[in-house]
Amino acid sequence: MVQKEKRESFRIKKSITAVCSFRGNELKASWMDSPILNLSEAGICILTEKKLTAKQTLRMRLFLSHTPRKTLQLQGTVVTSQKTLSGAHLTGVAFIHVTDKALRMLRTYIAWVLTKKEEHYGLSGSRKTQKRPNKG
């Protein structure tokens, strides 16, 4: 499902995993696998086991399913991290310092997902318009 929000980019829902690294009070960064709930050019919503602090910086690796061995590496800042009924945390992250190459990869991936969804629901191709009978 595609959601259009106040943001200038589409947000897609796609089941892929992000590997996130964050540094809490530890000197060494911790890595965790986090399911992605939705993704846009501006940010990502992931499920995390721990509550992350707002403004905390994450390094992320997204494993994009449209191309073999394509890993997208991004940095982001935690915007929100709220506990869900299941005990996991719904964590919103805004991307920061996105390179042109990373943005192109992200846009390509989002376009690929949207195309696949159109094909799945039979929406691809040009729409045929019905001819109206002549009145005269």
Q: Which domain holds residue 67?
A: 2-119
b/e string for 56-80 if b means 16 or more Cβ within 10 A?
bebebebebeeeeeeebebebbbee
Q: Based on the structure, what is the number of domains in the chain?
A: 1
Q: What pLDDT does 131 receive?
A: 46
Q: Is 43 part of any domain?
A: yes
DSSP letter at 64 equals -
In whole angstroms, give the CA distance from residue 31 to residue 23: 9
How is residue 76 written in tokens? 């982001």
Q: What pLDDT does 55 receive?
A: 93
Question: Mean pLDDT for each 10-residue chunk of the chain (136 residues)?
Answer: 52 57 58 84 90 90 72 91 94 95 90 76 51 52
Q: Is 11 part of any domain?
A: yes
pTM, entire model: 0.70
CATH number, domain containing residue 41? 2.40.10.220
Please name the residue ranges forming H helices in the chain. 100-120
